[in-house]
Each structure stands twice: as structure tokens, then as C-alpha cells.
Amino acid sequence: MTTRAPRSDPAREPRVTPVEKSAAGWPALGITVKRSLDEMGVGTTLRTLRKLNQPHGIDCPGCAWPDHRKAVEFCENGAKHVAAEATLRRVGPDFFREHAISELRLRSDWWLEEQGRLTEPLIKPAGADHYQPITWDEAFAVIAEQLNQLDSPDQAVFYTSGRTSNEAAFLYQLFVRAYGTNNLPDCSNMCHESSGFALKEVIGIGKGSVTLEDVERSELIIICGQNPGTNHPRMLTSLEKAKRRGAVIVAVNPMPEAGLMRFKNPQTPRGLLANGTQLADDYLQIRLAGDQALFVGVGKLLLEAEERSPGTVLDHDFISRYTDGFEPYASQVRQASWDELEAGSGLTRGEISKLAERILAAKSVIIAWAMGLTQHKRAVPTIRELTNVQLLRGNIGRPGAGLLPVRGHSNVQGDRTMGIYEKMPPAFLDKLAQEFHFQPPREPGWDSVDSVAAMRDGKARTLISLGGNLVRAISDTNVAEAAMANLSLTVSIATKLNRSHLMTGEVALILPTLGRTERDRQVTGLQQVTVEDSMGAVHATRGVLQPASEHLRSEVAIVCGLARRTLGDKVPVAWEEMTRDYSVVREHIGHVVPGCQDYNAKISAENGFLLPHGPRDERRFDTATQKARFSVNDLEFLELPPGRLLLQTIRSHDQFNTTVYSNEDRYRGIHRSRRVVLVNPEDVAELGLSDGEHVDVFSEWSDHAERCLRDYRLVAYPIARHCAAAYFPEANVLVPLASVAEGSNTPTSKSVVVRLERSRAGASRFGLAGVP
């Protein structure tokens, strides 16, 4: 395998250009080809991209949008993700002999990503500042010894990323529960936990209720707090199909996003040679955290329309047969004040009325959302409120209608289905006990926020991470980094170097694993694994490339090896048999996980299978009352002190979750650097500042601790008034660990009260691009 030198880490002042008004087209095609060839070369590019999201091929390790299964089924960002995994660059022992951990901490996230694939197991011994090679057997022995000498299994935390396969996730939770704890935090805790929490309460299942076919046949699609052009680009193809069939699309977002405005499909002549397809018919520039007020206003208008024309607006048959709680809900919403609704949403009554009219005119409505709704203090009530609006007109459980939380990672929903959750229901634990003849712990474990707090407070001693980059994904970066230093052991199962590998416990290990693009050969031959997309469809994925190193092991093999060494004969689980043949894992999944009976047979179908969903399939709602539940939610919104702004964290277009591919964000017109804060021009003037000057961004929270981004370029930007934006994960330093959504405990990364001050540092040197 040829190795290639990484590109250097640039240190530049940001360059700002006008905001783009369309997504994809020729630029997307050109960047896809260039990035793929630069990272993988011609041969690997052809082998991977032609198999990406195809039957008997590779499921994209990027977003969780379902597949159309057409000849070319990948987007620019999916190709970047595959190229990053299949890169020709390598990070071997020589790299770690040359670079001390303390030195690597000064590098940016981008630079760490650029170094390439990890090649063999590594250990940082106590007191050392370098990683050094270790054998797999020795690594498992170190981890097992640490786990078995803890005072309680609850002193260990087992984190999981959404890239993990169903098989590895199932085995991981089995190992953790056999070890004796439910401390199973995952990346969902930080993104769509609010969705799952709210939906479980009101419709009985924490997943969305639509299929891909529903999206493409819907008459009205309302997209809230989501940027599909960057985070789910293949969704644009589905939206284009819906538009061609006459759908109306409404974008609700504090920032104009190119992917919601116009789509130039690079797979069509219209997209490459003409103006593409206009997507959004209306754009509601909502205030951050204003969506609850918006949907209360819409519900109020629908009720008033019913009063004017009884029997013509609400779906009374659906409401009476399938729901409860309508009268208390209606009574509260009728009393809502328009002054409060306008102030809370940042929208006028006329703008809200137009949306209500759109809903009245449509026979089928889908409401889609992402983290723009889930990462607020009032996220759970907001999602309950938009569900109320859908219940009013029976827009759940019929074609082209429903609820659509759009998951951002390829198998984050599958992880939860497989049992990666600190509060799995008793029925799942009962099945696990019956299948494997041990009693799983029943006490709830720690989620991601609580886990970091436990590390900070000395309650946790060990962290094992199956993928991910927890220290950068979680809120309150400085607190998280200090918490890691309190641990006696940190273990990361990973494909590439990231910042969590540098914020270590006393002893640290990195266990390199196969990527999804690589062939997984075990004793019984080549293996396949499975994933679940954002709409509950499960299908197989098979790697096609030679592994990046002979020392890599699959996630399944690593988890089983670690479990076997740690648990010994404590539980009667055939770890070796499941390592040899993953179909054995799937047999167990079929016996334990609801909807997965005959799992091996179901995934043999070309397109896999769809998990059952009561509300969607039969209007069955497994709630406390066995009905969909209208909810009563007090209307609250943040009132900002004078001179303050409400900041949200955002991702750039050249980024996937915490992975930064470059310092470019071409759709927003931000180039060469990520050290920017975006503010409405009127707010810039009102604060007595100027576009282009440098500012320090201070977070304001009740503990009065200093949380600051220093020396950031101020960019006058068409964001909603009194709102601001800065890039994730760098801006996580501003989000207090204790600032969480009610009920779901999700960090409030879209509701950070900040003040801006002229930078004390003067003109920025930008020597540490990406490091706050």
C-alpha cells in the first residue's frame, strides 16, 4: 500500500464571499471527483463509489438517509466520507515516535484527520507522552485487568458512535450488561434524544413515522431546523421528486441554507446545464428556539378555522378513535397570546397564518426536523407541539404524511434498536436474560452528559469508546477534557486519529478497526453486517477493499475479544463462535430485538426489510393510554438581556459531525478558516461593532465560569435578528455541561446566550485553526 504525505495545516485569515443560493451542480461533481482521486487514487475510487449504497455493496458511513437504489446513489459528502476512510495515508508507530501527545494536542482537528488510517494497537503507559505499539492480546489484558479491579461495574462508561454496525452494537451492549452496568451513552444523547423522548410519550415509539415513498408523494413538507444540503444531501433528490409531483416545501430556519433554496442535481441535465429545481416555496426565518411558538400559533389558527367552518378542518374521526387529550390541548392553545407567539418565534402573525393555510390546503403533510429543534431547553415540548399539529388533521399513519426526525449518522438509529441505551425497557432486558441466561442490571445508567459529569466528579474511572470523538462531540469542551484526565484508563476503538485520543486517562489505548469499506474476513469467510436507516429500513453492507493494515480487527472481533478476556466464564456467551460467523450474532438478534425475527432471512432480500412501526403501519399507539396523545406544553422562550445574542453551533459543508475535511464552507461563503461568528448586520451595528473586525465570544451562564472563543472574525450574515452562529465542535466550549434540554438531557447547543467584545488579541494569527 502506497503512503502519501498529508497536506499542511493552513493558518489564514477567513475570506468571505456572498452566500450561495443553490446546492450541488458542477461544483459538487468536481469536488467529488477531485477529493476521491486525491485520497484514494483511481482504482480505489472506482471500486468504492460504484458499490456505494448498492445492493450487496457498501452502506455509506455518512448520513442515515434511505437509499433509492439507483445506479449512482451517493452525494458529494458521502464520497468525502468514503474517501476519508479509504485514504492511502497511514498513521503507524513511526508517527507516534515522532509526535508526542502533548504536541499533537496543539494541532487542529483538521490536521489530525488528515494524517490517515491507524494501523496497529497502541498504548500510552502511565506517565508517558507517546503512544507505542502493543499486541492485541496485551491490549485486551490491560483493559480486562482495569475493568475487573474497579470497585463497581458502574465506575466504567461504554460510549458508542452511530457508525457502529447492528451486530457490533448488539454485542457491545451484551458485553456491557454482562459486565454489570447500563452505562451505555451514545451520540444520540447529543442529537435526537429529544425526538425519541418526545415521540415515545406521544405516539409510543421514538422513531419517525414516514418512509421514503411518503416523502416523495407528500403534498406539503415542512423542514425545520435542518440543513439537508450539507448534512443529508441525498435528501435533496427526494425533495426534488416531491416537487416534480406537485409538493409544496416550506423551510423554517434562522439561516438561509442553499440546499433548501435550489437544488442542481448533478445527475440530471437540468441540474448541470440549467437552473435546477427550486425547492422551498416559503422561507420562514425563525428566531432560534422559536419553533414551539410557531407550532402553537399554527395549532391556534387551525382550531379557529374549525370554529368558523365546523367539521371541515380537523380530522374528527382520527381524533376520536386514535387520540386522547384533545380538549385540554385545545383549551390552552386557544388562550395563547399573539404578542407572545410573535415575540417567541420572531415571525409575524401573517407568516404563521400562511403556514397554517398551507396545512389546510394539503391532504398529506410531513414535518421534518433535525438538531435545530432538538438542542434547546424546550426541545421536547417543541416536538410534542409539532406532533399536536399533525394529530389535528390525522397526518400520522397515512400515505405521504407523518413525522420525520432526520438522523445524522448512518446507524445511530440502529444502535438504539440493538440496545445501546442507558434506559432500555424491561421487556428488552427480559429477552436478553432469556437468550443468554444471565440477569442484566436494571438500574438506569449514565447518558453522555451524565457520564462526563461522573468523570469530572471522580465517580467514573474508565471510558471505552466504540467509535466517535466524545471529547469534541460533547458540550463544555474544557470540562470534558479535564474530566478525561481524571480517568485511570481510556480506550478508543477507531479508524483514524481524533482529539479524544489525546485527552487521555492515566493509561490510554487505541484499538484500530476495519472501516465499512473494507473486507471483513473471519474463519468462516467474508462477513457482512447490517445497519438501519433514518426510516427504519434494515439492510446489509459488505466491504470491498483490502484492509488498511494486516493488524486491523473488526468491531465485532474487538468487542468479542474484549468480552471474552474480561468476563471469562462469568456468563455463558459463545463469543468465539459469534466472531467466526456473524450470522450467529443475527440469530440472537432475531430472538431478542422486536421486529427482527428471522433476521438472517430478512436481510438476504436485495433491499433488506422495514422494521414494524405501529403508528405508521396500523395507527397503533403504544403509549400509556394506547392512543396518540395531545399534550399541553407551557410556552416559554428566552428573553435576551440588552446587548446579548442567542448563538447556535453549526457544521460547515466540508465536515461530517466532528470530522473536519477542510476549512471551507462554500455554501455560506466562508473560506480558509472556521474561526468566525455569524451575526445579523443590524445586530452588528447595534452592538457598535463592524463587519470584519475580531471579537471574543463569551458564553453567559449561571455558574459565571468563563467560557470563551477568542479572536474570532465577525461576519455580517443574513441570520435572524438577535441570533448568531459559530462552528461545531469548536464552539462547544461555549455550551455549559449543565445546560440541557428538559427530559432528554441533550446539550442546548442551539441556545447559547453570548456577548461579543472586541478581541484583546488584535488581528488573529490563526495558528491553531480549529482549536478554540
Q: What is the CATH number of the domain that holds 419?
A: 3.40.50.740
Number of independent structural domains in the chain: 4
Same domain, yes or no: 384 and 266:
yes
Mean pLDDT, rounded, for 460-479:
97
Q: How many of the other CB atoms lie within 10 Å of CB of 123?
A: 21
Confidence of residue 7 (pLDDT cuts 50, 70, 90): low
Same domain, yes or no: 296 and 356:
yes
In a domain, 617, yes or no: no
Mean pLDDT, rounded, for 740-766:
85
Confidence of residue 233 (pLDDT cuts 50, 70, 90): confident
In a domain, 526, yes or no: yes
pLDDT at 54: 85
Contact residues for 700 (Cβ-Cβ < 8 A; gap 6+): 644, 753, 754, 755
pLDDT at 50: 86
Same domain, yes or no: 388 and 254:
yes
Same domain, yes or no: 417 and 381:
no
Comparing 763 with 137, the larger pLDDT belongs to 137
- C-alpha pair distances (Å), 560 with each of 137, 363, 566, 567, 675: 13, 50, 10, 10, 42
pLDDT at 47: 87
Same domain, yes or no: 429 and 478:
yes
pTM as predicted:
0.95
Q: What is the CATH number of the domain that holds 659?
A: 2.40.40.20
Greatest alpha-carbon pair distance for the chain in Å reads 77
pLDDT at 218: 98
Same domain, yes or no: 41 and 105:
no
Q: Per DSSP, which regions of 585-658 are E strands?
A: 609-610, 628-629, 645-650, 655-656
Same domain, yes or no: 423 and 474:
yes
Same domain, yes or no: 297 and 213:
yes
Contact residues for 525 (Cβ-Cβ < 8 A; gap 6+): none
In a domain, 622, yes or no: no
pLDDT at 10: 54
Residue at a domain's end among 405, 434, 461: 405
In a domain, 764, yes or no: no
Q: Can you give the residue range of the structural domain that contains 45?
A: 15-85
Residue at a domain's end among 344, 370, 405: 405
Residue at a domain's end among 372, 388, 405: 405
Q: What is the DSSP string of 145-164?
A: HHHHTSS-GGGEEEEE-TTS
In a domain, 767, yes or no: no
Task: Report the share of the chain in percent with pLDDT over 90.
Answer: 82
pLDDT at 281: 97
Extract the C-alpha cell encoding 162.
452511530
Mean pLDDT, rounded, for 244-273:
92
- C-alpha pair distances (Å), 24 with each of 209, 623, 671: 28, 42, 17
Same domain, yes or no: 201 and 180:
no
Same domain, yes or no: 578 and 723:
no
- Lowest mean pLDDT, pick from 311-315, 490-494, 601-605: 601-605
Confidence of residue 762 (pLDDT cuts 50, 70, 90): low
If we measure between CA atoms, which residue out of 609, 592, 603, 468 comes closest to residue 535? 609
In a domain, 634, yes or no: no
Mean pLDDT, rounded, for 603-631:
95
Each residue of 396-444: pLDDT tens digit?
Answer: 999 999 999 998 778 889 999 999 999 999 999 999 999 999 999 999 9
In a domain, 662, yes or no: yes
The count of C-alpha atoms lying within 13 angstroms of the C-alpha of 503, restricted to the half-sphere facing its C-beta, is 22
Mean pLDDT, rounded, for 76-92:
89
Confidence of residue 11 (pLDDT cuts 50, 70, 90): low
Same domain, yes or no: 205 and 162:
no
Each residue of 514-561: pLDDT tens digit?
Answer: 999 999 999 999 999 999 999 999 999 999 999 999 999 999 999 999
Give the C-alpha separation, 311 to 583, whole Å: 54
Confidence of residue 771 (pLDDT cuts 50, 70, 90): very low
Give the C-alpha separation, 78 to 62, whole Å: 6
Give the C-alpha separation, 340 to 636, whole Å: 9
Q: What is the CATH number of the domain that holds 325?
A: 3.40.228.10
Comparing 47 with 342, the larger pLDDT belongs to 342
- C-alpha pair distances (Å), 289 with each of 26, 225, 251, 389, 581: 35, 10, 15, 18, 48
pLDDT at 230: 86
pLDDT at 9: 52
Same domain, yes or no: 207 and 343:
yes
In a domain, 104, yes or no: yes
